[in-house]
Amino acid sequence: MARKRGENMRDIEFAFSGAGLDRAAHLRSDPDQWVAARILPIWQGKVLLDQTAQRLAWVDAAHTLSQLADLAVFLGIHKQTPYFAIDVSSQDMTGVPQSDGFLDDTTQTHPSLPDHLQFVELRQIMTQLPALDGELAATARAITGWHASHGFCAKCGGASAPAMAGWERHCQSCGAVHFPRTDPVVIMLVTHGNQVLMGRSPGWPDGMYSLLAGFVEPGETVEAAVRRETMEEAGIKVGNVRYLASQPWPFPASLMIGCWGQALGTEITLDPNELEGAIWMTREQVLQSFADPNAPIRPARKGAIAYDLIRNWLADTL
Ligand SMILES: [Zn+2]
Q: Give me ligand 1 centre to Cα 146, in Å.
A: 17
Q: Give me ligand 1 centre to Cα 216, in Å.
A: 27
| Cβ pair 140, 73 in contact under 8 A | yes
Residue type, 50: D
Q: Give me ligand 1 centre to Cα 292, in Å.
A: 55
Q: Give me ligand 1 centre to Cα 289, in Å.
A: 52
Q: Give me ligand 1 centre to Cα 150, in Å.
A: 12
Residue-wise pLDDT tens for the chain (318 aa)? 444 444 444 456 789 988 889 999 999 988 888 999 999 999 999 999 999 999 999 999 999 999 999 999 999 999 999 999 999 999 999 988 887 767 889 999 999 999 999 999 999 999 999 999 999 999 999 999 999 999 999 999 999 999 999 999 999 999 999 999 999 999 999 999 999 999 999 888 888 999 999 999 999 999 999 999 999 999 999 999 999 999 999 999 999 999 999 999 999 999 989 899 999 999 999 999 988 888 888 888 889 999 999 999 999 998
pTM of the model: 0.92
